[in-house]
Amino acid sequence: MAQTQKQGKPTDGQPDEWQQDLNPQPMAGQNYGSSGTHPEKAGLNAYEIKELHDKLPDYTHEELKQITLLPVGSRLEQGAKYIDLNDPQRNEFTAMGGMEAGSNNWYVPKTEVSYQLWNRLIGVQNPERLGEQGES
């Protein structure tokens, strides 16, 4: 019996000649393995950006140093949570594949700050969620 070819799929094991044009970065935004450096580990922190001192006046210098920012051009990890300190509402969002930090973004990855600091950044006011002791 002869093997039949599925329509639209080459059977010779070679990639389609247009595949690179149609999908230039097939793994963009995927979280498989360690595909390289993690730019969030080497990024700036909020203390190093003078404009953020004005946007975050209630934060100490030590707290600002704990807020890691993604460098411009860094790909956001698909499914990961971020906030943009350039967004006045500081809404938490989940990244989709292919997203990257632009020159107008100050993205903070949730994985790179403590949960109390994260909650404070997104506007949580509950003292227990901010790590503050409740007065009895």
What length does the chain have? 136
- Tokens 């404009």 locate to 51
The tokens of 2 are what? 């002869």
Does the structure show a pLDDT above 90 at 100?
yes
pTM for the predicted model, two decimal places: 0.66
Q: What's phi and psi for 96, nearest 5 deg?
A: -110, 160
Q: Could you read off the pLDDT of 43-95 as tens digits, one per residue?
A: 789 999 999 999 999 999 999 999 999 999 999 999 999 999 999 999 999 99
The tokens of 59 are what? 């934060």
Q: List the one residue out of 82, 81, 85, 73 whose CA is nearest residue 37.
A: 73
Are the CB atoms for 40 and 77 separated by under 8 Å?
A: no
**Residue 22's pLDDT band (boundaries 50, 70, 90)?**
confident
